[in-house]
């Protein structure tokens, strides 16, 4: 059964965190996805999650932490109950410039993942749009990352796939079996929602969710994670997106 979660990064501009967790529980969420800035006080975070009967089943954790402190990453996951860890981003200056560099990056991620996988964690990559920019050799970087090791999974961000000019359904079908989690993200019609960077609440944009949901149900996806990079009202986003995902 596919479960619904919420990426807490959506609410970074609406402190305090405990109010956000209370709002999400009221909206019907039972699971959330974390990100690095939340982990300064893992014990306090776990206490807040427990108080609102929420589970942090997945999280974004930086490549530097995954590779540089695997024991700390595993301990953090154990403390918070995290089961899936996704490296989320590469800064522009850190992005390889050719196919060989992207292959090497995929191998680095695969090697860094091994101790975490041995501890029972799912490890993978979360895309933005830049992973679809062809290398000078004509390769798509996301393909090179996925090809590094069959054990690496994807958290496919469907909004960024579309922003990159690709059909989300085609990529879902291409990597069926390798996609464990998806970011359910919608895009506003051209010229709308400029104050929200062009993103929309799930079900209120241009994404073809009927086709996407059908394609996803033929894969091994276990989590739909609602995300909006810059909502002007995170409670509106959370509640409308929850309703839309249930309507799928």
pLDDT tens readout for residues 132-186: 999 999 999 999 999 999 999 999 999 999 999 999 999 999 999 999 999 999 9
How confident is the model at residue 231, as a pLDDT?
A: 98
Mean pLDDT, the chain, rounded, equals 97
Residues 186, 184: Cα–Cα separation, whole Å: 7
Q: How many domains does the chain have?
A: 1
**pLDDT grade, residue 235 (50/70/90)?**
very high
* Amino acid 211: pLDDT: 98
Nearest to 159 by CA among 124, 191, 199, 120: 199
pLDDT for the residue numbered 220: 86
Query: Pick from 86, 88, 207: which is nearest to 152 by CA?
Result: 86
Average pLDDT rounded to a whole number, residues 52-74: 98
pLDDT at residue number 22? 98
Question: What are the beta bridge partners of residue 33?
Answer: 7, 58
Structural domain of 231: 3-247
Cα separation of 228 and 211, whole Å? 20
| Confidence grade of residue 1 (pLDDT, cut at 50, 70, 90) | confident
pTM: 0.97
Q: What is the mean pLDDT of residues 192-210?
A: 98
Q: What CATH number has the domain bearing residue 241?
A: 3.20.20.150
Using DSSP, state whether 206 is helix, strand or coil: coil
What's the sign of the alpha-carbon dihedral 2, 8, 14, 20? positive
Residue 35 is predicted with a pLDDT of 98
**pLDDT category, 71, cuts 50, 70, 90?**
very high
């Amino acid at each position: 059964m596919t479960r619904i979660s919420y990426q807490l990064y959506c609410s970074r501009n609406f402190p305090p965190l405990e109010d956000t967790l209370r709002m999400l529980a009221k909206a019907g969420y039972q699971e959330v996805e974390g990100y690095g800035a939340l982990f300064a006080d893992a014990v306090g975070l776990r206490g807040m999650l427990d108080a609102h009967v929420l589970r942090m089943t997945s999280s974004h954790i930086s490549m530097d932490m995954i590779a540089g402190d695997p024991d700390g990453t595993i301990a953090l996951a154990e403390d918070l109950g995290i089961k899936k860890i996704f490296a989320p981003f590469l800064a522009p200056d850190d992005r390889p410039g050719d196919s060989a560099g992207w292959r090497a990056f995929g191998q680095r991620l695969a090697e860094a993942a091994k101790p975490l996988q041995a501890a029972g964690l799912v490890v993978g990559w979360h895309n933005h749009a830049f992973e679809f920019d062809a290398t000078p050799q004509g390769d798509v970087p996301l393909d090179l990352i996925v090809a590094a090791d069959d054990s690496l999974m994807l958290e496919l961000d469907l909004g960024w796939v579309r922003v990159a000019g690709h059909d989300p359904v085609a990529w879902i079908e291409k990597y069926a079996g390798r996609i464990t989690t998806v970011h359910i993200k919608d895009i506003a019609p051209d010229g709308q929602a400029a104050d929200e960077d062009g993103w929309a609440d799930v079900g209120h944009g241009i994404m073809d969710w009927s086709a996407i949901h059908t394609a996803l149900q033929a894969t091994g996806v276990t989590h739909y994670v609602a995300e909006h990079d810059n909502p002007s009202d995170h409670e509106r986003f959370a509640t409308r997106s929850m309703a839309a995902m249930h309507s799928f």
